[in-house]
Structure formats: structure tokens, C-alpha cells
Amino acid sequence: MAHRVLSGMRPTGKLHFGHFHGVLANWLKLQEEYECFFFVADWHALTTDYANPANIKDNIREMVIDWLSVGIDPSKATIFRQSSIKEHAELHVLLSMITPLPWLERNPTYKEQIEAMKEKDLLTFGFLGYPVLQTSDIIIYKASKVPVGIDQAPHLELSREITRRFNHFYGEVFPEPQTLLTAIPKVLGTDGRKMSKSYNNSIFLSDAPEEIDKKIRTMMTDTARKLRTDAGNPDVCPLFLTFHTLYSNEETINWVREGCTKALIGCIECKKSVIPKVLASIEPVQKRRRELEADPGKITEILKAGAKKASQVAQETMAHVRHAMGLE
């Protein structure tokens, strides 16, 4: 059977360059090669934001606009919302029957997240069951490949274990999902830390060109290079590691390497050499965004059509599952 690829994102609103280079660039390639299902994990958003769900609707919209603006194509990939396909919840319940609690409790991501989001009460049944719901998302489409970053690898490992356990009890219903580990380039934010919405250091795909220009101009560089006459080191410079690495050609990179390490160029000059390339690459994306914003019904329509396709597959799988478990 040809590989089916599935991946999801929690609706966090507008996406930044980190999401683009880390996730979407990969999805763009995958949609050319495989049958792809890309979905908005809105129930997963509730595992942490249950007390304040007011933004989820807008966040879904903004995120899907970004997906489409960068070129995720509903004629190639099936795009939908998790909550539109109620079968995910049914399968989640059934998987919850067979998932041993200790598997969930010793999941390293679980403990880290609780620690990282101390301001929220995450000692809920839903949050503990996050990987069970994620397993349901994946196997309900019999997806064999799941592209995720390394941070999601423990979840995927759990999904494989839950799948094996299901097949052990009820027969070979599901293929074991394989992790398609994406080599994620390091995209650093304006303060030199990993680009992340929660650090307030992000450059968004939808930022106005002047805003992008300003953010890059003020982005952190090699902090040891205090004066124009100090030599710098591109290999520890966040601006270089992110923007030159992703957007500059070899010639420019060599020019920066030599100019920086010999103090022949200043940081502003260095930044100016890459900003136009970043802006040129984002221009068509922003043009598509404006078109989508001008046509509010379009996103709803695309999600509806995607849900229709996803629903057919999910219903078929659930008929198989109910039969295997003696429920029908």
C-alpha cells in the first residue's frame, strides 16, 4: 500500500518562520510525494487551554490561512479540523481502555510540560491522555508515516506501543505508524533563543515587510562582537545561523564569513545583505494571505471539503474497529 502521511498542529494562531522552516517546508514536499492528511488539533489545544478557549476559533483560522498561503494545497492534501471528525473521540475512548496508566505517567513530555506550564492546572484526565488522542488521530487514517520534530518522538513511540497492543488483542487492524523525523533547521528568534511564541521573539509570516525588516535589523548577533572593529564569529551569531544559513547563497555566506571574522563588515551591513532575500521569499506568501483574507468563506469551505474526505476514511476504519472488538 502506498504510504499515507498524517500530521497535525495545535491551533496557536499566526505562524512564524520557525514553523515554516521546521514544519511547513516539509509538508510542502510531502504533499507532492504522498497522500497527505494535515489537520488542526483543536481538541488537543483544549488539553492546555480549557479554561480559556475563546481564542481557538480565530487561531484555527489564522493558522490555516498560513498553511494555504505558503502553498499547502487542498487539491493535493486533505486539510481538516480534528473536532469535525467525531470518530477520533470514539477511537480515543476505545484506546483508553487498553492503555496502561504507567505508560502515560512515565512519558517524559508529560512531566516536562507540567513543569513548563506551572501557571496552568494540567493534572487532568485529558492532558494525561494527550498521546492516546494523538494515537487515535494517526491510526484512524491508517497513516504509516507521521512527520514530527524530535520533541514529539516520545509521543510517537507511545502511539506505536498502543497500536501494537490493540493489534495484539483484536487482530491486525492498524499498521504501526512510523515516525518521519524531520531534520529541523534551527530557527532562532530575535533574542537568540529558539523562535517561539512564548518567548516573544518571533518573526511571523504575516508580519508587515517593515516589521520583518525591523525585527531582523535589531536581531541579536555575536554578543562578543561589541565594536565594529571587533572580529566576530558567524557560528555563534543567531542572525547568521538562522537567516544567512536559510536564505543566502554560497557567495554571500563566504563574504559574511570573511567579513565578520576579519572585522571587514559591520553587523548592519551584514543584515542588510539578507533582508531583501527574506522579504522577496515572503512576498508571494503575503499576497496569498491577502487574497484569503478577502474571501472569508473560503477557509470554511476548504475545511468542510477536507472533513468530508477524512470522515469517509475514519468511518470505514471505525466499522472495522467495532467489528474487531465485537461491538458490531
Task: Select 41 or 239, whichever has its Cβ closest to ligand SF4.
Answer: 239
Contact 113, 122 (CB under 8 A): yes
**By CB under 6 A, residue 313 contacts ligand TRP:** no
**Binding of residue 260 to ligand SF4 (CB under 6 A):** yes
Nearer to ligand TRP, 3 or 298 (CB): 3
Q: Which of 182/221 has CB closer to ligand SF4?
A: 221
Q: Which of 4, 5, 10, 313 binds ligand TRP (CB under 6 A)?
A: 10
Q: At what angle do helices 153-170 and 130-139 cross, to 10 degrees?
A: 70
Give the whole-angstrom CA distance, residue 177 versus residue 64.
25
Q: DSSP character for 54?
A: G
256 is a site residue for ligand SF4 (CB under 6 A): yes
Q: Which helix (H) or strand (E) holds 323?
A: helix 297-324
- When CB distances are held under 5 to 8 angstroms depending on the partner's kind, the choice from ligand TRP, ligand SF4, none that residue 265 binds is ligand SF4
Question: Is residue 85 part of the contact set for ligand TRP (CB under 6 A)?
Answer: no
Which residue, 70, 63, 55, is CA-closest to 39? 63
CB of 22 to ligand SF4, least distance (A): 22
Buried b vs exposed e over 10-31: b needs ≥16 C-beta within 10 Å? Answer: bbbbbbbbbbbbbbbbbbbebb
- The yes or no reply on residue 36 touching ligand SF4 (CB under 6 A) is no
Write each residue from 148 to 187 as x if it is in contact with ligand TRP (CB under 6 A), else as -, in one continuous string.
x---x-----------------------------------
Q: Does 44 bind ligand TRP (CB under 6 A)?
A: yes
Name which of 44 and 271 has its Cβ closer to ligand TRP. Answer: 44
Q: How far is the CB of 27 from ligand SF4 (least distance, A)?
A: 30
Chosen from ligand TRP, ligand SF4, none, partner binding at 146 (C-beta under 5 to 8 Å by type)? ligand TRP
Our finding on whether 83 is near ligand TRP (CB under 6 A) is no
Decide: 122 and 44 in contact? Cβ < 8 Å: no
The sheet with strand 178-181 has its strands ordered as 77-81, 35-40, 4-9, 145-148, 178-181
Tell me the three cell numbers of residue 12: 496557536
In the bound complex, what is the minimum distance in angstroms from residue 229's beta carbon to ligand TRP?
A: 45
Question: 39, 80 in Cβ contact below 8 A?
Answer: yes
Exposure of 311 by Cβ count < 10 A (0-12 exposed, 13-18 middle, 19+ buried)?
middle
Where along the sequence are the contacts to ligand SF4 (CB under 6 A)? Answer: 221-222, 225, 232, 234, 237, 239-240, 256, 260, 265, 267, 270-271
Where along the sequence are the contacts to ligand TRP (CB under 6 A)? Answer: 6-10, 41, 44, 134, 137-138, 146, 148, 152
